Chain A
Amino acid sequence: MSGMAFLGLLVVFTIFVLVAQRVVLRLWRRMREQGAGALAIRLHRPRDIRWGAALLPVTIGFLVLAGTYGITNVDGTGSGNLFSAKSIPGDLFYTLLVLAAVTLYTLVQPRRAGYLAAAGLAGIGAWVLFQALVFPHYAYDYEWYGWLRDQLYFPELVLVAAACLTGGFFLTRRTIVADVRARRSGLTAQVERLARTRADAVDSAAAELRRLERDLHDGAQARLVALGINLRTAEKLIEVSPTAAAALVADCRNTATLALSELRDLVRGIYPPVLADRGLGDAIRALALDCPVLTLTDIQLPGRPPAPVESAVYFAVAEALSNAAKHAEAKTILIRATHERGMLRVQIDDDGVGGADPASGTGLAGMEQRLGAFDGILAVSSPAGGPTIVVIEVPCALSSLKTSTS
């Protein structure tokens, strides 16, 4: 075997090993993540494979061309064609190795194989055209009939070049251009979605603040004013008419109690204390205990989501529970919470009458909007007759629990 052949073998073998290693690693990781379904998923993507598969014929075309022009001249005679009888069996072995590697690559990276096929086809077309226009004059000009032979070959070569270039153009549009466009429109859609959810979040935050302002103004603030007035009056009455003063002071105590209970409700609506104290898991357990319908919980959260996510999810669960209690006539509710592969998931099932529709109220739609700000979703399945399943999913990381729950 010549030096060139050995070098070629080395290169091809290295590529093969690298590709095979990638394939095995990827499959192993997928199997670990998804179990035995990994193989099936890999093979069930015909759309991607469609254009990638063109890489194989394009590679064969390249090899033929390379052989024709002696690039892979392995026997040192200057006339080596990869597919010529002379070079068998050595060259056939390399050829098969190359084709095997290409096939593997197509299976692992169908989309990129498509890009390569498109570029390769265009490359072949360009080379053949160049060949037709320029090269013959050098190849044959020492023969008296060279010019004539050029004229005979010329139309065929041009035809082949045109076919390859057209094919390359077509493939490029279907693979590279299509992907770039898809990515761009994906980005556009994402930008639109972000703009919308941000506007929603800002709107709902502003509305929430207005509500708080009004509640404080009409509630606790007004009561404190009344308290001040009554205390002042009591102060004046205390000498003249102690009984009247005592009655007023008792009145003040009631007012203070009312103001406190209003503030308590307000605080619950902003950031429930139990959520602040214990985190989402126990806050959901507390919701379950307070729900008038029997509510079971199965909560597997090894840590705490970021505070804004935690409170959005908390209020979504609270809404789902109050809906189940209000509309569903349910006997039992089941809440399950998990965090897997970066996704917080809470599912609320009730065995009620079903027929929930986020479009027909403000509760569910509002929660969907609020979760949207965190790329979260709220999905409802509620056929007439039930059961109703509400799923909340938010991508997020958990921080470790600072304090353990007892």
Chain B
Amino acid sequence: MRVVLAEDLYLLRSGLERLLEAHGFNVIAAVDNAADLLTALVDEKPDVAIVDVRLPPTFTDEGLRAAIEGRRQVPGLPVLVLSQYVEQLYARELLADQAGAVGYLLKDRVFNDDQFTDAIRAVAGGGTVMDPEVIAKLMTRRQRDEPVTRLSAREREVLDLMAEGRSNSAIAQRLFISEKAVGKHSTSIFAKLNLAPSEDDNRRVLAVLAYLNQ
């Protein structure tokens, strides 16, 4: 899988590169600024790009902007955005084009390399991956809402994991239940939240995020 990596700190860049190579990814370009990133995205059209939010020259949200611009020029280009902190505001901007194939994670998540590489593959495959911290923030708002309070505790757990972009099998593994049970829970969740049921994983995540984002 061809990966473009954008990270300005040398230590992190080389660390990530090593980690990715170790997991069988092919890092075709590792850049340290937004301009190079945009060129790499548009010219190379990688299978997935892993992008730090803060990049030179302004060290603000250069990376995020470059990622959004890259996806504007190459629609549906898979991008996984990494950051030292997560903001719902940025999550919304990433999700705004509704094209899927996008992820937004805290850098800490890299520590768990299995989950991290799962996330990369999910994004490359057109899926949507949101950091649990973003989901938690979305949930606090929704906690007072009628429909969400009607969910059972287990359904809430399934909803959280669904919103993070996990597949049925991953959710089943995580909660130590069968995939079939996950399917049942998700049908019930969609009914309670008045969402149109969907078999496609990515559509499901987008529906849930859109609902939480209202």
Contacts and interface: CB of A to CB of B under 8 A. Distances in A.
Interface of A: 253, 256-257, 260-261, 264, 267-268, 273-274, 276-278, 282, 285-286, 289-294, 402-403, 406
Contacts of A253: 111-112
Interface stretch (B1-9, B83-91, B147-155): B83-91
12 contacts: A256-B108, A260-B108, A273-B87, A274-B90, A278-B60, A286-B88, A286-B89, A289-B92, A292-B140, A292-B143, A293-B141, A403-B58
B88 A290 contact: yes
A403 B137 CA distance: 27
B157 interface: no
B85 A268 contact: yes
Nearest to A295: B141
Interface of B: 53-54, 58, 60-61, 65, 68, 84-85, 87-90, 92-93, 107-108, 111-112, 137, 140-141, 143-144
A285 B108 contact: no
A392 to B, nearest CB: 21
Contact of A267 (B54, B85, B108, B141): B85
A402 B90 CA distance: 18
Contacts of A274: 85, 87, 89-90
Per DSSP, are chain B's interface residues mostly helix, strand or loop, or mixed?
A: helix
Contacts of B89: 274, 278, 282, 285-286, 289
A402 B65 CA distance: 14
Contacts of B141: 291-294
Contact of B65 (A260, A267, A406): A406
Contacts of A290: 88, 137, 140
A289 B213 CA distance: 9
B41 to A, nearest CB: 16
B68 A261 contact: no
Contacts of B112: 253
A273 B93 contact: no
Contact of B84 (A264, A289, A403): A264
A293 B90 CA distance: 20
A273 B53 CA distance: 11
Given A256-B111, A264-B84, A292 B144 contact: yes
A253 B113 CA distance: 11
B60 A289 contact: no
B88 A289 contact: yes
Contacts of A292: 140-141, 143-144
A278 B53 CA distance: 12
Given A261-B108, A286-B89, A292-B143, A406 B68 contact: yes
Contacts of B87: 273-274, 286, 289
B85 A264 contact: yes
Closest 4 CB pairs of A and B: A277-B60, A289-B88, A277-B61, A286-B89
A403 B90 CA distance: 15
A302 to B, nearest CB: 18
A257 B85 CA distance: 13
A273 B85 contact: yes
Contacts of A256: 108, 111
A403 B60 contact: yes
A153 B93 CA distance: 94
B146 to A, nearest CB: 13
